[in-house]
């Protein structure tokens, strides 16, 4: 019933019916007025004609004293059923003849028409017959004077007609016309209803079924035949369906041959997301589960990386720029690295955007980068050990020989003794610098003494090498870190502290390292110029290696500029300590 009320068939038919009823009502009021006025005019004409006739006949008959003829004429007029009372008066207002015999001989004031005495006098003064309405349009009175006999007295004919019955008859005629028009309107609306049902409603239902059946997996429905508008729309829908299926087939062929995951998430949460066959290979989860569990893919993401995925999706839903992140995916075969590139598909105004993107397995690249880092670290250590075992030893031997030379010149009183002393100082400084380089390239504290000693040694190196006070605070337990993780953390701290000493023009530097639960926190703070390599046109080799180490650790880097409450800059590095975090169940949307 509700569907019928909202249909065009019902709306058009009921609108036409309402408009027709309104027009019929207006026409009925107009017709009723015209009919009543026409009947009133006809009654006035009848009263005027009858009054004129009776006044003329009365003047003639009364002069000849033919009273019976006057009675006959008056009785003839009384055949009109609307005539209530007819009187013929002499000049003294005595009733000479009447349609009611009992009123003969009475004075006019004694008759039911006594109320028109004033009108009677006015008519006699003008000697012109007139017709009046009285009693609020329910009575019609005709007064016509005449000259009576030789005395030239002024007689009168007074006729009273009933208007109620004629006007009611006129209204009855208008009502009959209203009923006839209403029946015609009802029949016309019913015919229109059936016509709309046949020409519009049934065809629109067919068109709606055709649109609802549009699917990339089903064959298009047959289009309606004809050249009218609905047929053209149906044919256009059929053509569009064919084109969509053709485009979808080509897209599926391309997506099926891709090694990367292509996905598309519509803005409507009730709609099904699309992924290609590579989803099962990369995420090791069946794509069919996405039909009932739209957020099933999030279970495969490492727990520490899930918030980054959700933030990216939230930004893309709001129409943000293209984003790219790298996350870890847990599979039965082990941990995988996946690079996700997402972009927004703009929709209408005030609507959320659809989100699409590509996810590619970059685990092999990560392995190569890890190997490259290990190779670079081994090469650093080799160079550091070579510097320590070869160059530093040679410099130490030269320093000893220079000391012996300086002692010999001092005993003999040679003039070159000051030059030997200066050479000894230069060799001592060179030996210290070489040992510092060797320790920086191959910090023995990491493996032998742990991350705490290595960071302390780094602070001493920054203080000596750059003449900037560097304080180190470390509350971490060396037993909770593997040698590889500790090496990466040390190298990150080394690069960040060195960058602050080189570029920030700081008066002090502080390195803080702490471990809480499943996360380690490295913080490098200084009072110099904020340094943000990502804001420049490109990054140097040092920051590029830092980001590779961060990827190896699964860590994130955050730059904090100074503010009024804390007028210093800091760089924060957060390192998750779990190598393979197990994904926890989450609520699906």
pLDDT in tens, 398-435: 777 777 777 777 777 767 777 777 777 777 777 777 76
Does residue 536 have a pLDDT over 50?
Answer: no
Contact call for residues 29 and 198 (beta carbons, < 8 A): no
Report helix, strand or coil for 399. Answer: helix
Answer left, alpha or beta for residue 467, where phi above 0 means left and psi between -120 and 50 means alpha.
left
374 within some domain: yes
Q: Are strands 509-516 and 470-474 parallel, antiparallel or unpaired?
A: parallel
What local confidence, expressed as pLDDT, does residue 512 receive?
A: 92
Are 226 and 136 part of one and the same domain? Answer: no
**What's the farthest any 2 CA atoms get from each other in the chain?**
196
| Integer Cα distance of 38 and 217 in angstroms | 75
Are 125 and 22 part of one and the same domain? Answer: yes
E strands in 362-493: 470-474
Confidence band for 259, pLDDT divided at 50, 70 and 90: confident
Average pLDDT taken over every residue of the chain: 80
Q: Which of 80-89, 127-136, 268-277 has the lowest mean pLDDT?
A: 268-277
What local confidence, expressed as pLDDT, does residue 436 receive?
A: 65
What local confidence, expressed as pLDDT, does residue 442 receive?
A: 61
Confidence band for 3, pLDDT divided at 50, 70 and 90: low
122 within some domain: yes
Contact call for residues 271 and 291 (beta carbons, < 8 A): no
Last residue of a domain, one of 257, 275, 293: 257
Number of domains in the chain: 5
Average pLDDT over residues 116-133: 88
C-alpha count within 13 angstroms, C-beta hemisphere, residue 117: 11
The CATH number given to whatever domain includes residue 332 is 3.30.450.20
Spatial CA neighbour of 165 closest among 77, 31, 75, 39: 39
Are 16 and 143 part of one and the same domain? Answer: yes
How many other C-beta atoms lie within 10 A of the C-beta of residue 105?
Answer: 10
Instruction: Report in angstroms the alpha-carbon separations of 163 from 45, 47, 169.
Output: 13, 11, 10
Confidence band for 18, pLDDT divided at 50, 70 and 90: confident
145 within some domain: yes
Contact call for residues 304 and 323 (beta carbons, < 8 A): no
Does residue 383 have a pLDDT over 70?
Answer: yes
Q: Which of 130-134, 250-254, 313-317, 362-366 has the lowest mean pLDDT?
A: 250-254
What local confidence, expressed as pLDDT, does residue 586 receive?
A: 33
The CATH number given to whatever domain includes residue 548 is 3.30.565.10
Q: Which of 178-187, 232-241, 246-255 has the lowest mean pLDDT?
A: 246-255
Are 410 and 509 part of one and the same domain? Answer: no
Domain that residue 165 falls in: 8-170
What local confidence, expressed as pLDDT, does residue 540 receive?
A: 66
42 within some domain: yes
Average pLDDT over residues 245-268: 80
Are 438 and 461 part of one and the same domain? Answer: no
Are 139 and 101 part of one and the same domain? Answer: yes
DSSP assignment letter at 478: G
Contact call for residues 146 and 157 (beta carbons, < 8 A): yes
Name the one residue in this structure whose structure tokens are 């490109």. Answer: 538
| Integer Cα distance of 62 and 150 in angstroms | 10
What local confidence, expressed as pLDDT, does residue 553 receive?
A: 77
Last residue of a domain, one of 338, 361, 384: 361
Are 17 and 159 part of one and the same domain? Answer: yes
Average pLDDT over residues 550-575: 82
- Which tokens in the block code for residue 216? 């990339």
Average pLDDT over residues 537-560: 74
351 within some domain: yes
Report the alpha-carbon angle 467-468-470, nearest 5.
125
Are 236 and 283 part of one and the same domain? Answer: no
Does residue 497 have a pLDDT over 80?
Answer: yes
Are 87 and 125 part of one and the same domain? Answer: yes
Confidence band for 175, pLDDT divided at 50, 70 and 90: confident
Q: What is the strand order of the sheet 334-345 is part of?
A: 274-275, 261-265, 354-361, 334-345, 323-331
Are 20 and 165 part of one and the same domain? Answer: yes
Does residue 584 have a pLDDT over 50?
Answer: no
Q: What is the strand order of the sheet 83-89 is part of?
A: 95-98, 83-89, 153-162, 139-148, 130-134
| Integer Cα distance of 122 and 323 in angstroms | 105
C-alpha count within 13 angstroms, C-beta hemisphere, residue 403: 8
Confidence band for 535, pLDDT divided at 50, 70 and 90: very low
DSSP assignment letter at 354: E
Are 377 and 288 part of one and the same domain? Answer: no
1 within some domain: no
186 within some domain: no
Does residue 511 have a pLDDT over 90?
Answer: yes
583 within some domain: yes
Last residue of a domain, one of 191, 225, 257: 257
Are 270 and 398 part of one and the same domain? Answer: no
Spatial CA neighbour of 473 closest among 440, 437, 515, 438: 515
């Amino acid at each position: 019933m509700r569907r019928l009320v909202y249909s065009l068939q019902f709306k058009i038919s009921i609108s036409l019916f309402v408009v027709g009823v309104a027009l019929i009502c207006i026409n009925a009021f107009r017709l009723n007025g015209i009919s009543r006025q026409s009947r009133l005019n006809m009654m006035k004409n009848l009263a005027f004609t009858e009054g004129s006739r009776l006044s003329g006949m009365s003047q003639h008959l009364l002069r000849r004293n033919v009273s019976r003829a006057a009675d006959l004429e008056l009785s003839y007029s009384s055949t009109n059923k609307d005539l209530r009372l007819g009187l013929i008066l002499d000049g003294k207002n005595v009733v000479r003849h009447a349609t009611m015999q009992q009123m003969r001989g009475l004075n006019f004031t004694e008759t039911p028409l006594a109320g028109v005495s004033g009108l009677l006098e006015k008519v006699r003064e003008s000697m012109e017959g007139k017709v009046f309405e009285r009693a609020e349009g329910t009575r019609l009175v005709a007064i016509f004077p005449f000259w009576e006999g030789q005395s030239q007295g002024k007689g009168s004919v007074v006729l009273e007609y009933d208007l109620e019955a004629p006007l009611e008859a006129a209204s009855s005629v208008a009502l009959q016309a209203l009923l006839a028009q209403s029946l015609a309107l009802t029949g016309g609306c019913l015919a229109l209803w059936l016509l709309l049902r046949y020409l519009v409603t049934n065809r629109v239902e067919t068109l709606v079924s055709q649109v609802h059946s549009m699917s990339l997996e089903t064959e298009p429905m047959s289009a309606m035949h004809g050249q009218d508008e609905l047929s053209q729309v149906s044919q256009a829908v059929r053509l569009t369906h064919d084109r969509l299926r053709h485009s979808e087939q080509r897209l599926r062929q391309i997506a099926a041959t891709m090694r990367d995951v292509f996905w598309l998430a519509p803005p409507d949460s009730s709609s099904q997301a699309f992924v290609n066959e590579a989803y099962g290979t990369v995420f090791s989860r069946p794509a069919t589960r996405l039909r009932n569990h739209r957020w099933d893919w999030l279970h495969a993401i490492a727990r520490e990386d899930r918030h980054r995925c959700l933030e990216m999706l939230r930004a893309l839903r709001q129409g943000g720029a293209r984003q790219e992140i790298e996350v870890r995916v847990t599979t039965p075969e082990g941990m995988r690295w996946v690079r996700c590139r997402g972009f927004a598909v703009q929709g209408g105004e005030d609507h959320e955007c659809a989100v699409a993107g590509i996810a590619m397995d970059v685990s092999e690249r990560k392995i190569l980068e890890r190997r490259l880092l290990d190779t670079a670290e081994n090469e650093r250590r080799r160079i550091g050990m070579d510097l320590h075992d070869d160059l530093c030893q040679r410099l130490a031997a030269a320093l000893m020989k220079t000391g012996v030379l300086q002692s010999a010149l001092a005993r003999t009183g040679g003039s070159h003794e000051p030059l030997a002393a200066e050479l000894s100082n230069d060799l001592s400084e060179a030996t210290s610098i070489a040992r510092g380089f060797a320790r920086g390239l191959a910090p023995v504290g990491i493996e032998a003494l742990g991350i705490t000693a290595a960071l302390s040694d780094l602070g001493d190196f920054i203080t000596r090498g750059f003449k900037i006070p560097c304080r180190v605070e470390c509350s971490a337990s060396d037993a909770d870190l593997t040698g590889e993780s500790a090496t990466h953390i040390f190298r990150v701290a080394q690069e960040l502290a060195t960058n602050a000493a080189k570029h920030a023009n700081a008066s002090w530097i502080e390195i803080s390292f702490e471990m809480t639960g499943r996360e380690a926190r490295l913080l490098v703070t200084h009072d110099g110029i904020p340094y943000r390599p990502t804001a420049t046109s490109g990054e140097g080799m040092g920051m590029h290696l830092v980001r590779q180490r961060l990827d190896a650790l699964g860590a994130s880097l955050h730059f904090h500029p100074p503010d009024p409450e804390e007028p210093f800059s800091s760089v924060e590095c957060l390192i998750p300590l779990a190598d393979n975090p197990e994904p926890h169940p989450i609520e699906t949307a």
